[in-house]
Structure 1
């Protein structure tokens, strides 16, 4: 009974970290849940309700969490390099045989060899690929083109900036940051503060130090336009690609094989 209670307590702790990550991300992206809803709507529309999914740059498993709640017959492979976020993901889904996690660097040309399956119905990613510059991202899209089965789907939900609208971009950013400042004054936790809390946690302190050595505070990638993403995905072998959702700062680009 004592072991059972300890396992329950551990599960609750991982879930608490999972939820605190969600709150921190929502401070930057108030429309985050809407993005996930549309993403899963389009999964259902294109590949059904029992898909084999690759959760690319999965972090804490935010996509996997929502995927399995909506589609209990789905399966998910989460892949990431961040040891701290993977620790939260593995702890959250411990014992769920629908979920597998893989440690891999997406800039390593051989990362796909670590995956348990040669192809997937859907490859999904959110708020992650802006860590990559255009050249490695183009190479990654080429690999994703070989992982998605014919008729399958890839979706990227991320910051995508149209540089042709600088005044609109500046107005949107000022408005969004004013709202963020108000939320911060009311106690919202930002990226740096969240990682400081993780570094103080007895279980996460070690993995957090590892990820700091890997990445530094934050990677310096690119945020090309949605049109660039769609064009690059078509060149990678997808038959169709376009935006299926957007907010003033973010877009979901869908590519159909």
Structure 2
């Protein structure tokens, strides 16, 4: 498992580049958020004293979207990047129902520094940095920290199950980026060769959707499904049953 301090994400300039261009890098990013909010409204909203855990929160965009539809949420945000965490703190400076924990997934797996359980645990574009053994460990951590009847959602990239699918998915990704870039009148070099850089980056360790759903099933999650998929970008998750 690549340590956070050894990855590009430890560099403030890298995290800033990602944050500034995420709507271009991530295919259908706004739609992914809308799916998450629809899921939350349907399965979580009607509960009392709702609590969420945002794993790999970045600048807090996921929690921000949830607070737009439910300001009563008590949220805990976790991220190892000091730059991202600083932006998240700025975003929520007027809130008193937000807790911040600067920690990596490795930190969470070494010692339990999250002392409560949650109605909804969500992660976006983060868990693919773990290999499968550590994904399983994190999934188990998530299961333990969900309340009975709680839900987990992962918005993330996955490994295509065949080379020809990967080639097609990467072409779709490049087409998305080109279309967004052209619509915005951008000609910046950071968008070139994006799929190769993603594939070559040591910190990217995606696994197939099927393998991850099976891992969640083995841990005890029920009602597992893929809620949305566009090439390598997917939304999936499940429930911790009440009994």
State the TM-score, normalizing by the size of structure 2. 0.78
Corresponding position: 1:220 with 2:194:
no
> Which of 119, 131, 137 is residue 117 of structure 2 equivalent to?
119
State the partner residue of 1:81: 80
State the partner residue of 1:131: 129
Residue 187 of structure 1: SS of its match in structure 2? coil
Structure 1 residues 89 and 135: CA distance shift in structure 2, 3 A? same
Q: Is the 8 A contact 1:131 1:221 kept in 2?
A: yes
State the partner residue of 2:7: none
Q: How far 1:47 moved relative to its partner?
A: 2.1
1:89-145: CA deviation from partner (whole Å, max 9, x where unpaired)? 1111113112111111211324532x2x41000000111111111111111111111
**Structure 1 range deviating more: 145-154 or 29-38:** 29-38
Residue 99 of structure 2: SS of its match in structure 1? strand
Corresponding position: 1:143 with 2:141:
yes
Aligned residues: 214
State the partner residue of 1:162: 160
Residue 106 of structure 2: SS of its match in structure 1? coil
Structure 1 residues 111 and 83: CA distance shift in structure 2, 3 A? farther
Q: Which aligned pairs between 1:222-241 and structure 2 lie closer than 5 A?
A: 222-241=205-224
Residue 89 of structure 2: SS of its match in structure 1? helix
Corresponding position: 1:69 with 2:68:
yes
Q: Is the 8 A contact 2:159 2:206 kept in 1?
A: yes
Distance in 2 between residues matched to 1:182 and 1:57, nearest whole Å: 28
Q: How far 1:72 moved relative to its partner?
A: 1.4
Structure 1 residues 54 and 191: CA distance shift in structure 2, 3 A? farther
When the two chains are superposed, the root-mean-square deviation of aligned CA atoms in Å is 2.7
Q: How far 1:182 moved relative to its partner?
A: 5.2
Q: Is the 8 A contact 1:27 1:180 kept in 2?
A: yes
Q: How far 1:183 moved relative to its partner?
A: 4.3
Structure 1 runs not aligned, ≥5 long? 1-17, 193-217
Structure 2 runs not aligned, ≥5 long? 1-14, 192-200
Q: Is the 8 A contact 1:229 1:253 kept in 2?
A: no
Residue 104 of structure 2: SS of its match in structure 1? coil
Distance in 1 between residues matched to 2:223 and 2:56, nearest whole Å: 23
Residue 171 of structure 2: SS of its match in structure 1? helix
Q: How far 1:149 moved relative to its partner?
A: 0.9
Q: How far 1:167 moved relative to its partner?
A: 2.1
| Structure 1: 4+ residue segments shifted above 3 A | 18-23, 181-185, 188-192
Residue 59 of structure 2: SS of its match in structure 1? coil
State the partner residue of 1:105: 104
Distance in 2 between residues matched to 1:103 and 1:191, nearest whole Å: 28
